[in-house]
A = this chain, B = another copy of it.
Amino acid sequence: MEDKKLRSRIREISGFYADKGRMPSFSEVGKLVGLRSKNAVSKLVKRLEALNVLARDEKGRLVPGSIAYPVKMLGTVEAGFPSPAEEELADTLSLDEFLIGNRDATFLLRVSGDSMSGAGILPGDMVLVDKGRSPGSGDIVIAEVDGEWTMKYLKKRGGSVTLLPANPAYEPIRPKKELKIAGVVTAVVRKYK
């Protein structure tokens, strides 16, 4: 089969999965790509399995392969963009899987102050916070000090604890009494436009 036709069929199936969150059945694949025979679909599926576009369960049911990982990972900025042929071979990645370690315990918070701008966390950014992780020295944490919530570097030295901003305009915080650490920042996400 021409490469182009196969490509467009893969795109159809990916689109279906992205839309609905489930894989199409064989007959649905047929309608999607314009095949009237389920046998033809069966052959197509075998090819897509070989290409890791989709796969099968231990129960034999269709599950997404690279389809589930929507973004292609290339090299570095300096390397620029590879040729289209190389692009096809690129690893694909799901940001959800990449960024979220502990599904049930991670949350998304919007950043409003600029006290961590020195660490590349700007107002308006979103941070992923893991509530279930034990904070270590050097981690960026969400903490409640004397009734107020902030995001700061956590520094432990000896027995004492300091909350350190990443902006010289702010002062380090040495909590008087209460210091509740609600979670550790595990990722930062910024969307433009």
What is the interface of chain A, defined by CB distance below 8 A to chain B?
Answer: 11, 14, 18, 20-23, 57, 61-64, 68, 70-81, 87, 90, 93-96, 98-100, 103-104, 106-113, 117, 120-122, 125, 127-128, 131, 139-140, 142, 144, 148-151, 182-183, 185-193
Contacts and interface: CB of A to CB of B under 8 A. Distances in A.
Contact of A144 (B80, B110, B112): B80
A140 B193 CA distance: 11
Give the oligomeric copy count. Answer: 2
Contacts of A103: 14, 18, 70-71
A72 B129 CA distance: 10
Contacts of A100: 70-71, 95
A164 to B, nearest CB: 15
Given A71-B106, A77-B111, A139-B192, 7 more contacts: A22-B63, A71-B103, A73-B107, A74-B108, A77-B142, A95-B99, A189-B189
A189 B188 contact: yes
Contact of A11 (B98, B104, B127, B183): B104
